[in-house]
């Protein structure tokens, strides 16, 4: 039987790393992106040791660069002709205002714009699967979002708590609109809250917040299992456009449920990408 292909971002640490190892146990061809070769090699070794599956591959991709994403997908397509599961897991949480090479605030750019663009570029390979799944890792933090369409990446009025919440709302809006656009295709799209998990996302945050979060966090493997369930379980087969809070259907904020705003945000995301990548084509 031909192996299914799973592509995962954010696999070199945290829940992404554990999820990658768990999915590899299920006889997948597991592919992940990385920015650092040493960490990538260590992650590959870890996945093989944990899963017993040696069919592990990785590509260089800097999610803070739209051009890097474009180069990665071109390279990926030269080697692979389909994707069965795409897991948009990578994320960052910047405590200070930092810009990407494209001129966007880094948290918003990595957490949303990168995966918006990456997913668009890979939809043709997902369509070649008999039953493809797209999984976007969001957060209950979306409930604290205060999105401003005149300042989408919060670069004009930066607040590190707000920008992270906005990026997680963005993940859900993206999921909901994409699910609607693909409703007649063989591709499901869902988002999830993995739980409050010990994470490298905390590394750049103020010390008091790090310590408080660690006190209430669950183990990394717990959060990974929430991702793996959406990637593999027959229970969620055919379910699309749904937000899961850990292992159950979650409750969205009123803002996240606003499909009109989600569509408006989709169009804004298109403009933000196309202003930097002139040949970008949305669906």
Residues with a catalytic annotation lie at: 164
> Measured between alpha carbons, how far is 9 from 63 in angstroms, rounded to an integer?
9
**Alpha-carbon gap, residue 103 to 110, rounded angstroms:** 12
249 and 255 Cβ atoms separated by less than 8 Å: no
Listed residue (188, 144, 200) closest to 167, CA to CA: 144
**Rounded to an integer, what distance in angstroms lies between the CA atom of residue 52 and that of residue 46?**
10
- Count the Cβ atoms, other than its own, within 10 Å of residue 81: 10
d(CA 70, CA 280): 10
CB atoms inside a 10 Å sphere around CB 138: 30
**Closest to 191 in 3D by CA, of 208, 209, 168:** 168
Question: Helix and strand tally (H, E) in the chain?
Answer: 10, 8
Task: Judge residue 264's burial from the number of C-beta atoms within 10 Å of its C-beta, 0-12 exposed, 13-18 middle, 19 or more buried.
Answer: middle
163 touches 182 (CB < 8 A): no
CA–CA separation, 241 vs 196, rounded Å? 22
């Amino acid at each position: 039987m031909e192996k299914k292909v799973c592509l995962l971002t954010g696999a070199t640490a945290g829940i992404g790393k554990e999820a990658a190892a768990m999915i590899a146990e299920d006889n997948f061809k597991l592919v992940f992106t990385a920015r650092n070769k040493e960490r990538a090699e260590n992650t590959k070794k870890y996945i093989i040791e944990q899963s017993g599956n040696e069919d592990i591959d990785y590509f260089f991709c800097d999610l803070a660069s739209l051009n890097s994403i474009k180069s990665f997908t071109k390279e990926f397509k030269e080697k692979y002709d389909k994707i069965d599961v795409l897991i948009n897991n990578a994320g960052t949480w910047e405590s200070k205002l930092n810009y990407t090479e494209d001129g966007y605030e880094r948290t918003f750019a990595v957490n949303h714009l990168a995966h918006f663009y990456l997913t668009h570029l890979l939809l043709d390979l997902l369509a070649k699967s008999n039953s493809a799944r797209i999984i976007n890792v969001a957060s209950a933090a979306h409930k604290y979002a205060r999105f401003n369409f005149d300042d989408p990446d919060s670069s004009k009025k930066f607040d590190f708590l707000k920008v992270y919440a906005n990026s997680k709302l963005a993940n859900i809006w993206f999921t909901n609109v994409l699910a609607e656009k693909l409703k007649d295709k063989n591709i499901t799209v869902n988002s999830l809250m993995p739980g409050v998990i010990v994470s490298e996302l905390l590394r750049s945050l103020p010390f008091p917040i790090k310590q408080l979060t660690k006190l209430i966090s669950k183990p990394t493997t717990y959060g990974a299992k929430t991702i793996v369930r959406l990637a593999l379980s027959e229970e969620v087969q055919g379910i699309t456009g749904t937000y899961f809070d850990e292992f159950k259907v979650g409750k969205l904020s009123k803002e996240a449920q606003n499909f009109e705003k989600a569509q408006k945000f989709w169009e804004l995301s298109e403009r933000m990408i196309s202003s930097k990548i002139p040949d970008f084509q949305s669906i």
